[in-house]
């Protein structure tokens, strides 16, 4: 357990040793693992789940059939027959798929790394780099939509993050415009006891412009999840657009476990942005550092395009693009394209 290899743990004592109720075992990630004495009867244990309180529970396959199952988070993911019509929510009891609660040790190690990384996110470009980089190892997606509520059926903020779509802002705008779709997604999530919901785009959203756009970038499924307060009011809502190979109950389970870290990281970038605006009332001076053409080139650099691709898009030669990139590096006083994108986000020359 301590080395994260998934082999039998040498840290577990024989049954009857230690405290009568629980025992804490240190892990490789530095987290305390809470183990009941009844579990100590089993020599082979696996990482299983992280509760909303942050405790990590361990369980044996046999033990999960008994008492431990009642305190584990039970993820019932509806698929197939998704509610349609005028906001009507059908009974989905027979459509639930309950994913395995057992998680591979390497997945748990990756999850711990992502959780730790999320705590260090304070700016938009940090959040973009995390969700489209490290987080993709756990939750593969083509596009992520993040939304903060405003009242019962409106949003105060919607942002989209993607490397597969050239204009994520347009997707955010479409999500806001299709208020009835967003309302249905949220109601279905609430009806599913605030657990992730998975949809087949083709069979569930035939008339949605937003979903057609997600299909255009290769997404076949969407998985929705969010956070709520003690009064069951939504505090955030997330939509992951995924390819068919990536949309499964294991992926939904990982989203369930990570959603509070995702929410915390995203909201932290908004707090940071407000503070920066208080210190510097206007970012127009920063944008003047680069010419309009250089800003266009940098936008495409941020989206991962090569000099040749940027040249085709803008109708200029690759050599001209290269000269623009070199001038951008000089003006921003950075060494490479990645640093240029990061600094441009800090200066608000680029925005997600």
Q: Which candidate, 101, 47, 111, 99, places its Cα nearest to that of 259?
A: 111
Alpha-carbon distance of 177 to 35, in angstroms, equals 48
Question: In the prediction, which pLDDT does 347 show?
Answer: 81
Q: Across all residues in the chain, what is the average pLDDT? A: 73
Mean pLDDT score, 50-54: 36
For residue 217, the model assigns a pLDDT of 92
Q: Which of 179-188, 302-311, 312-321, 343-352 has the lowest mean pLDDT?
A: 343-352
Predicted confidence at residue 271, as pLDDT, reads 79
67 pLDDT higher than 50: no
- 97-106, 210-219, 250-259, range with the lowest pLDDT: 97-106
pLDDT given for residue 283 in this prediction: 52
Distance CA 164, CA 57 (A): 36
Quick: pLDDT tens for 113-172. Answer: 999 999 999 888 889 999 999 999 999 999 999 999 886 667 889 999 998 887 888 899
Residue 110 has pLDDT above 70, yes or no: yes
34-39-42-43 Cα dihedral, nearest 10 degrees = 20
The predicted model gives 334-342 an average pLDDT of 89
Higher per-residue pLDDT: 178 or 350: 178
Model confidence pTM above 0.95: no
pLDDT value of position 130: 94
Sign of CA dihedral 12, 13, 18, 22: positive
> What CA–CA distance (Å, rounded) separates 236 from 225?
9
Higher pLDDT, 213 or 152: 213
31 burial via Cβ count (<10 Å: 0-12, 13-18, 19+): middle
Q: What was the pLDDT predicted at 124?
A: 86
pLDDT digits (tens, 9 = 90+) for 247-305: 888 899 999 999 999 999 999 988 755 555 444 444 555 667 888 899 899 989 988 89
């Amino acid at each position: 357990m301590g080395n994260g290899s998934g082999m039998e743990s040498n840290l577990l004592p024989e049954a009857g040793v230690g405290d009568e109720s629980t025992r804490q075992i240190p892990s490789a990630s530095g987290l305390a693992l809470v183990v009941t004495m009844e579990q100590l009867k089993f020599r082979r244990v696996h990482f299983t789940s992280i509760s909303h309180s942050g405790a990590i529970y361990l369980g044996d396959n046999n033990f999960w059939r008994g008492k431990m199952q009642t305190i584990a988070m039970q993820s019932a993911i509806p698929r197939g027959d998704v509610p349609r019509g005028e906001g009507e929510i059908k009974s989905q009891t027979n459509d639930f798929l309950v994913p395995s609660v057992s998680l591979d040790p390497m997945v748990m190690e990756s999850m711990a790394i992502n959780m730790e990384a999320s705590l260090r996110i304070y700016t938009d470009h940090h959040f973009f780099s995390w969700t489209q980089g490290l987080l993709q190892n756990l939750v593969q997606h083509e596009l992520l939509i993040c939304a903060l509520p405003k009242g019962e059926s409106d949003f105060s903020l919607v942002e989209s993050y993607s490397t597969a779509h050239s204009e994520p802002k347009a997707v955010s705008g479409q999500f806001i415009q299709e208020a009835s779709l967003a309302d249905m997604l949220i109601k279905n999530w609430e009806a599913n006891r605030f657990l992730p919901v998975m949809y087949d785009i083709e069979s569930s959203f035939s008339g949605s412009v937003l979903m057609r756009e997600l299909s255009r970038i290769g997404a076949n499924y969407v998985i929705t999840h969010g956070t709520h307060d003690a009064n069951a009011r939504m505090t955030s809502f997330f939509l992951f657009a995924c390819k068919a190979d990536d949309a499964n109950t294991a992926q939904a389970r990982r989203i369930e476990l990570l959603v509070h870290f995702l929410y915390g990281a995203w909201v932290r970038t908004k707090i940071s942005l407000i503070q920066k605006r208080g210190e510097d009332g206007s970012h127009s001076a920063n944008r003047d550092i680069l010419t309009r053409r250089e800003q266009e080139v940098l936008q495409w650099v941020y989206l991962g395009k090569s000099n040749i691709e940027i040249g085709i898009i803008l109708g200029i030669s690759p050599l001209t693009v290269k000269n623009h990139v070199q001038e951008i590096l000089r003006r921003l006083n950075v060494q490479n394209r990645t640093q240029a994108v990061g600094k441009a986000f800090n200066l608000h020359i680029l925005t997600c």
